[in-house]
Amino acid sequence: LFFRCVQPELKALAVGLYTLAIRMIAGIPAPVYFGAAIDKTCLKWGSTSCGKQGACRLYDSNAHRYVFLGLGAILRGPSYLFGIIFYTLIKKQFQNKNCRPLENGQEDAAMNEEDNCKIKERLPGCSDVENESSI
């Protein structure tokens, strides 16, 4: 859908800008989120030769599991929510296209296969036998 809206000579630029936007939104901040969240589960920090805080030596495995999997689920949650909303809106839009207006200003009625079978175009010069399908 995104590429149908772009003129053919600008598609390469559109792909480049799209990739840049995705990298900026997801690729750069994600390691920061996960690093900070995983650091919260550290039980024992090591130290460097200068006396500063070093790498974590021992993690709380239960907390690490919940933080790692939970943060991924929380970050994916809004995208799933938008996907479900988008799906329902598109589904409603296509269901409305299957409706047809009736005569005398009546309300729309859904057009199903039975209605399609009842409404047949009669070609001039053709008999009813030619319009029937045979098995």
Q: What is the pLDDT of residue 29?
A: 85
Instruction: Give a yes or no: residue 95 inside a domain.
Output: yes
The SS3 assignment for 12 reads helix
Instruction: Give a yes or no: residue 110 inside a domain.
Output: no
Instruction: Give a yes or no: residue 79 inside a domain.
Output: yes
Instruction: Give a yes or no: residue 61 inside a domain.
Output: yes
Domain that holds residue 71: 1-45+53-100
Instruction: Give a yes or no: residue 26 inside a domain.
Output: yes
Instruction: Check pLDDT > 80 for residue 119.
Output: no
Two tokens at 36? 């900070």
Condensed to tens digits (0 to 9), the pLDDT of residues 95-112 reads 877 655 555 555 555 555
Instruction: Check pLDDT > 70 for residue 131.
Output: no
Q: Following DSSP, what letter does each residue of 54-85 receive, concatenated?
A: EEEEEE-HHHHHHHHHHHHHHHHHHHHHHHHH
Instruction: Check pLDDT > 90 for residue 26.
Output: no
Q: What is the mean pLDDT of the chain?
A: 78
Query: Residues 55-62: what's their mean pLDDT?
Result: 92
Instruction: Give a yes or no: residue 36 inside a domain.
Output: yes
- Work out how many domains the chain is built from and give that number: 1
Instruction: Give a yes or no: residue 108 inside a domain.
Output: no
